[in-house]
Amino acid sequence: MHKVPKGMTLVVGLGISGRAICRHLARQEVPFMVADTRETPPGVDDFRAAHPGVALHCGPLSALDLREAAEVVVSPGVDPHAHGLAELTGERIEPRVVGEIALFVRACRAPVAAITGSNAKSTVTTLLGEMAREAGRRVAVGGNLGTPALDLLAETPDAELYILELSSFQLETTPRLGAETAAFLNLSEDHLDRHGDMSGYRRAKLGIFRGARHAVINAEDAMTWPEAPLPAMDRFTIRSPESNEWGIARHRGSEWLMHGATPLMPTGDMGLAGRHNQVNALAAMAMGHRLGFHHEAMCRVLRRFTGLPHRSETIADIDGVRWINDSKGTNVGATLAAIAGLGPTLAGRIVLLAGGLGKGADFSPLGDPMARYGREAILFGADAERLQAALDGHVRVSRVPDLDAAMTRAREIAEAGDCVLLSPACASLDQFPHYQARGEAFRRRAEQYAEEAWHGG
């Protein structure tokens, strides 16, 4: 067994976050070595070039004696309870096992706004970042989205505010975040192979509230509420707001985003489509309000922001049919949010394109909302049969071999006022290298349809 030298920090994992951890420790002049359970991790040559002389152990962690290490810093993709680390986390003996965000907290000297949730956290993080810029703040945005948090410190050391999207993997290794404002948007089944059950998953997510001065929570989802009240809390809701909530209500003959009794803007003026994105906007505004952003600055962002790629992204409107790319909808919760968000806003109905690798998920929750809002579910990929079993009897179902055939079928049956929604509720790896490739395939074909319609084809 190899021993980690006394006083040495051990970095576990050579992925994107692991490399950011190494860069940060090097800048801080903290002595460290690296371990990766893979025998030949990708990027190992680049690592050696960037950190000559830093020891690298490849293979099982159980081959390392960690008892005299100063600290173990794990990448988000590394389970802190994995063999070789479990003894340290389970018995709570030194060294402590922490993650990249714990190092970020130690070094950060500006307020932090943090967002988590099973779905929509990238949209809310990006919205809040745009609102901060519109309000004239020097802001750095990243974390689980885009630039790793530790690299933000080096790239934008003069930031007045750091806005971080954080995953459950990052939060479970963060002893105390201390955010100025922290949002927990929603919770649905995901990552249970890591967290064991929904209770474990929720417990990891609730780490976002440790030391927070303000919480933003979902009034419709008690699983997002902290176990003990925070100094200040705001709730967002799809209903007409009570008291000081952020919600949606009728005003001047149309629906408006509201803060209590104060009207903010008509929902119809938003660049984002769907009720779920109206809720995302309310969560971002609640955080921005806490941070001192003017309402009008936030509303300007909401008018022009049309969404992130592959996240309820409107691609085209063809003969009155809206084509929306939600390829990032890789789990049932994300697809439910898209259906429930878009359905009430349509004059017509939803044509759902779904399928891929379901990761053992229960698809049955999709049945009722598709019965309410769906015209047809067009299914493809490895788990199309399981999806069909869940949707039969609720909505018309057709099976096709792939996404291309699904889009051909959708174009044949969609009517004016409908929405063709790619929200697969599944991973893409059976037919695509990643969800981005799936979304780009949808985009190319939808744009081709739009071009044909423009030319009368």
Q: Annotated active-site positions, please? A: 121, 144, 191
Q: What would the DSSP string read from start to end of 138-187?
A: -EEEEESSSS-HHHHHHH-TT-SEEEEE--HHHHTT-S----SEEEE---
Secondary structure letter of residue 240 according to DSSP? P
**Number of residues in the chain:** 457
Q: How many CA atoms lie within 13 A of 99 on its CB side?
A: 27
Q: What would the DSSP string read from start to end of 211-224?
A: T-S-EEEETT-GGG
Question: How would you classify the pairing of strands 64-65 and 2-3?
Answer: parallel
Which residues pair with residue 249 across a beta bridge? 256
CA distances to 328, 358, 432 from 388, rounded to whole Å, are 21, 12, 21
Token reading at 313: 């992204």
CA distances to 89, 357, 431, 451 from 435, rounded to whole Å, are 34, 11, 10, 24
Buried b (16+ CB within 10 A) or exposed e, 90-111: eeeeebebbbbbbbbbeebebb
Question: How would you classify the pairing of strands 262-266 and 254-259?
Answer: antiparallel
Helix/strand/coil for 406: helix
Token reading at 264: 């903010």
